[in-house]
Amino acid sequence: MPELPEVETTRRGVEPHILKQRIRDVIVRQPQLRWPVPDDLPGVLKGSLIQSVERRAKYLLLKTPQGTLIMHLGMSGSLRIVAAGATVETHDHIDICLSSGKALRFTDPRRFGAMLWTAQDPLQHKLLRNLGPEPLAEEFDGEHLYRLSRGRSAAVKQFIMDGHTVVGVGNIYANEALYMAGIHPKRAARRISLARYRQLAMAIKSVLGDAIAQGGTTLRDFVGGDGKPGYFKQQLNVYGRGGERCRDCGMVLHEIRLGQRSTVYCRHCQR
């Protein structure tokens, strides 16, 4: 399940293979993704030069002189480099064939992913223009969280998973960051002090930074752009460990549903 570190790992993995490549063809086998792939996408992209491979939140942006291809991996999506004409599996929905003879292949069993086109500034696209800061950017800090949380009665876990607060904090890393900061996931966002938000911001940066450095998680079917799995799962302290012992205090980790999401925490370490 790609979260921000997985998306960044994918970006770094595919970038060397597609940067400065010209798009020779686009093969759309399954256009029904989260939103339908535009009918004219192959025609628009054909012949374009890929100028940059960027990321904003969990969106990957392939910029060409004509516009930008906006991609989202959804829940189960992946991008990898294959030889053009490589054997096609059931969920290989889109191939972007390159002048090098290779292809960027989008695979997504659950089809929660997306592939959209904009000729405008992609950061002004309706999906991107209202997003919060990047978690690893300087502008994201405890003051930012504290300021936005005033008057918010929602649970802090849902607050930090809201893309308007900060982007890229999915369920796994929200659980981990709250554990690291010692904050109970159900605590109302407005009832957390500035000092504790500073700890939480540092925890988010630490958890996401470490995950990126190690290539994302190995949960389910995630593999990087090079087809190799990530290695972060071994370091998860709470996510997926409900009923097991807390690595810090030895208490049994508690698992609940919060906002329809699996939430694991330590009742002793997190207040």
Applying CB under 7 A, the residues found at the interface with DNA are 1, 3, 32, 34, 57-58, 72, 74-76, 90-91, 109-112, 127, 151-155, 158-159, 161, 163, 170-172, 189, 239, 257, 259-262
Closer residue to DNA, CB minimum distance, 90 or 234: 90
115 strand-pairing partners: 71
Handedness of CA 120, 121, 126, 128 (dihedral sign): positive
Q: With respect to DNA, which residue has the nearer C-beta, 179 or 239? A: 239
Looking at residue 238, what DSSP letter applies? S
* Residue 58 designated active-site: yes
Q: Which is nearer to DNA, 73 or 203 (CB)?
A: 73
- Choosing from 187, 198, 205, 261, the catalytic residue is 261
Q: Is 3 one of the annotated active-site residues of the chain?
A: yes
Looking at the DSSP bridge assignments, the partners of residue 69 are 62, 117
| DSSP code at position 201 | H
Task: Look up 261 and say whether it is catalytic.
Answer: yes
Contact 211, 135 (CB under 8 A): no
Q: Is 99 exposed, middle or buried (0-12, 13-18, 19+ CB in 10 A)?
A: middle
- Between 112 and 231, name the residue whose CB sits nearer to DNA: 112
With respect to DNA, which residue has the nearer C-beta, 23 or 167? 167
Do 50 and 18 touch, CB atoms closer than 8 A? yes
Catalytic residue selected from 2, 122, 135, 185:
2
**Tokens 């012949």 — which residue?**
47
- Given the residues 55, 56, 58, 102, the one annotated as active site: 58
Helix ranges, the chain (H): 4-18, 41-45, 142-149, 156-161, 171-181, 194-213
The three-class DSSP label of residue 198 is: helix
